[in-house]
Copies of this chain bind each other. A is one copy, B any other.
Amino acid sequence: MGEVRRAEVISVGTELLLGQITDTNATYICQRMAECGIPVYFRQTVGDNFERVQEAFRLAWSRAELIVFTGGLGPTEDDLTKEAVAAVLGADLVEDPGALAHLEQFFARRGRSMTANQRRQALIPRGALPIPNRWGTAPGVFWEADGRVVVMVPGVPREMRGMVDEFVLPELRRRGWMGQEVIRSRVLRTVGIGEGQLEELIRDLIHTTNPTVAPLAHVGEVHLRITARGFPEEVSRLLDEAEARLRQRLGDAVYGVDDETLDGVVGRLLRDSGLRVAVAESCTGGLVGERLTSVPGSSAYFLGGVVAYGNEAKVKLLGVPQSLLEEFGAVSAEVAEAMARGAREAFGADVGIAVTGIAGPSGGTEAKPVGRVYLALADAQSSRTVRADFGEEPGREGVRRLASQAALNLLRRYLLERGG
């Protein structure tokens, strides 16, 4: 089982060639193949056309041992992946009793009758295995023939993912199709440090070949994707070592790994701290509260927030002194601090956070340009403020997102210091 088998992915669907949808299925299947150590050298995309699906399949058959189709298995006349593949391999299609029973139940439960086209979905090539569809109607196909494997899964992402994870990968493993060498990635997520500054800090760690380290800029955070290839234990070791080296350079700028979000990490820190928080927002319009409450169980530590868009609301609901607004303006460190204290008091919270700024596109002045944001955090003893200039370039949504990111990071650093 030592030889390397190559995979090829064929996405079927005219809507892909019209640019009406983006092919995230191929991304998903390629990720899984990389993790299983099965290299993918080519991907093809073809419309719902009998001859062209055949042409794509013949080409893949000539250069790959594992061919994965996604799309073209549904009930409409355009769906002809199974027919085209069976025709090339000279097999006929037979009705699978299990798939038929599933279809009958599916429609009976919905009180609908099954059309002839719906029933056609139960056909699979003679000698192939049907892949059960727990999420919809069309079964998939797993077909080992002439030392090759042809997989066909639907184009509906949820059905495709379910079949790949629950059936295709286990079946490939059972049959000894997994590669010896695998490719795995780990993502370190950083916040509060720009892409350029980050690259300066880790320049010598980026120009390596195994593992590779690639920075990926997102709004308000930079992710570092570490990718290693080799035998599984070696890959784990390489990823761990690279992570340790990067963390040593970057310290607290790393807030999480892989799928961890800043919202989730801040939520966990808050829960662990036992502190309760309240928010006062201006330019972010509710985004900071929305993010803090996006985490299940946030009611344990989030008491509430005030979105004070106008000055009146800042005075009335947050107790910001009118004199501060007059002297420094609504977008100022002084007002941000007063808002944070006001939120704390209004909700009886341990910690108050505030954001005030100019999201644009209008409203900027020479002294206070679009993108200027003040952030503040207040507890019973002290307060801190941060000024940020995000500029006009990110646009209104970008400035708001960056401001919320900075607010969450201010809170994160406060909680880390306190806990540490």
Contact = CB atoms under 8 A, between A and B. Distances in A.
Interface of A: 16-24, 26-34, 40-47, 49, 52, 56, 59, 183, 185, 225, 227, 279, 281, 283-290, 292-294, 296-299, 302-310, 312-313, 316-317, 346-348, 360-363, 396-397, 400
A398 to B, nearest CB: 11
A148 B229 CA distance: 40
Nearest to A293: B285
13 contacts: A16-B43, A19-B26, A19-B28, A19-B31, A22-B23, A22-B27, A43-B44, A285-B290, A285-B292, A285-B305, A286-B286, A299-B310, A299-B363
A281 B25 CA distance: 37
Contact of A42 (B52, B292, B307, B313): B52
A29 B23 contact: no
Given A302-B309, A316-B346, A19 B34 contact: yes
A297 B362 contact: yes
Contacts of A59: 59
Contacts of A298: 285, 309
Contact of A34 (B18, B27, B296, B299): B18
A230 to B, nearest CB: 15
Contacts of A297: 362
Given A21-B27, A42-B46, A286-B293, A317 B309 contact: no
Nearest to A303: B310
A363 B313 CA distance: 32
A290 B294 contact: no
Given A41-B47, A44-B44, A298-B309, 13 more contacts: A17-B41, A17-B42, A18-B34, A19-B26, A19-B33, A42-B52, A279-B286, A287-B290, A289-B307, A294-B396, A296-B396, A307-B307, A313-B346
A297 B307 CA distance: 16
B27 A45 contact: no
Contacts of A284: 290, 293
Contacts of A313: 303-304, 346-347
A42 B42 contact: no
Contacts of A185: 20
A308 B289 CA distance: 10
Nearest to A45: B43
A179 to B, nearest CB: 13
Contacts of A227: 18, 20
Contact of A305 (B20, B45, B293, B306): B306
A84 to B, nearest CB: 14
Given A302-B309, A305-B286, A24 B22 contact: yes
A303 B87 CA distance: 66
A294 B397 contact: yes
Contacts of A400: 290, 293-294
Contacts of A279: 286, 307
A255 to B, nearest CB: 20
